[in-house]
């Protein structure tokens, strides 16, 4: 048996405000020593995750834009595997969601229904995005390099958001909250992307049963936490633990990367 660690980034492996992962370093080192891959599963873009992955010294595949696509390093794939997946720079990509252009007319229609409530990230100025997220300018520019989704600031109230969710449901679109933005998802979520990647990795190594550990803090992590073999909800300083249907979940005492560190030590010491 061997583990795969699937992790949300913002508010989970990265501090919600400072984006630091320093408090998770001991657990990251433990995982590296045990050759357990850490797979980022984030609402962030490919342009944002590539440098973060280098900073975190991670080498495994990663999942972008809330499960919209799985990026696999080309060098890890056989020629036969490379032939089945489109190439994007140093990666092969499994696309699970519509392209960005799909969303523009839908967000325009939602803007007409809820005037002034929705601010798509693609339409924010870099200065406003920096102000709202605390990202530096290059990071904010990378955040705007969206390929499959356009997260929105929500300026309406909860009742309006419930109404928006109902409208979207009729279009088979789900609306989920992340740390700062709301996300519109069509045909996929973090859970579906995790299942696809776990199955892909399992068929390459049928003799070793792969067990998933998933860690997240937000409602947009719930789909992956529900389907993981072991689920961790990382405590947030700004919101309650989102509701899960499953009962077996480790809820951290500490917040953000300190909670991430706590959970990995707990799970690996008791396995």
Scanning 9-17, 118-126, 197-205, 223-231 for contacts with Mg ion by CB under 5 A, the matching segment is 9-17
| 15 part of the interface to Mg ion, by CB under 5 A | no
| 150 part of the interface to Mg ion, by CB under 5 A | no
Q: Which is nearer to Mg ion, 218 or 257 (CB)?
A: 218
User: Could you give the count of Cα atoms lying within 13 Å of 233 in the half-sphere of its Cβ?
Assistant: 22
- Which DSSP string do the residues of 220-250 spell out, in sequence order? GGHHHHHHSSEEEEEE-SSSPPPP-S-S--E
| 48 part of the interface to Mg ion, by CB under 5 A | no
190 near 42, Cβ under 8 Å? no
Strand pairing report for 210-216 and 2-7: parallel
Scanning 23-31, 163-171, 216-224, 237-245 for contacts with Mg ion by CB under 5 A, the matching segment is 216-224
- Which DSSP string do the residues of 56-90 spell out, in sequence order? TT--S-EEEGGGTEEEEEGGGS-HHHHHHS-EETT
| Number of residues binding to Mg ion, judged by CB under 5 A | 6
Q: Which of 181, 217, 256, 258 binds Mg ion (CB under 5 A)?
A: 217
User: Could you give the count of Cα atoms lying within 13 Å of 270 in the half-sphere of its Cβ?
Assistant: 8
Give the separation between CA 225 and CA 7, rounded to whole angstroms: 10
Q: Which of 8, 48, 65, 262 binds Mg ion (CB under 5 A)?
A: 8
Q: How far is the CB of 235 from Mg ion (least distance, A)?
A: 12
| 179 part of the interface to Mg ion, by CB under 5 A | yes
Q: Which of 4, 5, 6, 11 binds Mg ion (CB under 5 A)?
A: 11
Task: List residues binding Mg ion (CB under 5 A).
Answer: 8, 10-11, 179, 217-218
């Amino acid at each position: 048996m061997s583990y795969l660690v699937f992790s949300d980034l913002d508010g989970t492996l990265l501090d919600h405000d400072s984006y630091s992962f320093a408090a998770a370093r001991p657990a990251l080192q433990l995982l590296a020593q045990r050759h357990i891959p850490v797979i980022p599963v984030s609402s962030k873009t490919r342009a944002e995750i590539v440098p973060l992955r280098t900073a975190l010294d991670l080498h495994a595949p990663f999942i972008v834009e809330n499960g919209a696509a799985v990026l696999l390093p080309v060098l890890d794939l056989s020629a036969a595997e490379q032939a089945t997946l489109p190439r994007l720079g140093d990666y092969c990509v499994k696309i699970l969601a519509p392209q960005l252009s799909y969303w523009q007319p839908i967000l325009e229609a939602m803007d007409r229904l809820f005037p002034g409530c929705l601010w798509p990230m693609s339409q924010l100025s870099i200065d406003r995005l920096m102000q709202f997220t605390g990202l530096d300018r290059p990071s904010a520019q990378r955040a705007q390099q969206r390929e499959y989704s356009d997260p929105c600031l929500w300026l309406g109230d909860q009742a309006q958001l419930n109404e928006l969710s109902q409208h979207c449901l009729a279009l088979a679109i789900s609306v989920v909250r992340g740390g700062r933005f709301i996300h519109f998802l069509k045909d996929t979520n973090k859970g579906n992307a995790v299942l696809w990647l776990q199955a892909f990795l399992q068929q390459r190594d049928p003799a070793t049963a792969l067990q998933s550990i998933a860690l997240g803090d937000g409602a947009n992590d719930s789909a992956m936490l529900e389907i993981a073999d072991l689920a961790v909800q990382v405590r947030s300083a700004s919101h309650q633990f989102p509701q899960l249907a499953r009962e077996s979940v480790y809820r951290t005492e500490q917040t953000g990367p300190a909670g991430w560190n706590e959970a990995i030590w707990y799970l690996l010491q008791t396995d």
